[in-house]
Amino acid sequence: MKSKRLLLLIGFLQDELAIPSASIDLAVRHHPDTPNLLPMILWQYGLITLKQLDRIFDWLEMA
């Protein structure tokens, strides 16, 4: 089951950064035990840019 914070993060990724659901699903599926690393996994796989990663970290800091 996904935590509320993870669901909020996924919503932010989709709504604010327009990250495709398929990209998010890929990252979650490959590392299901580490949802807190989702932003780094997305970046590591080349699914987001450094600028997007920075925005995600800003969002996480405020959330």
Chunked into runs of 10 residues, the chain (63 residues) has average pLDDT values of 84 97 92 86 96 96 88
Burial (0-12, 13-18, 19+ Cβ within 10 Å), 27: buried
**Count of domains observed in the chain:** 1
Contact of 54 with 36, CB cutoff 8 Å: no
Give CA–CA dist 2/48, Å, rounded. 21
Give the model's pLDDT for residue 23. Answer: 95
Distance CA 32, CA 50 (A): 23
Domain that holds residue 18: 4-62
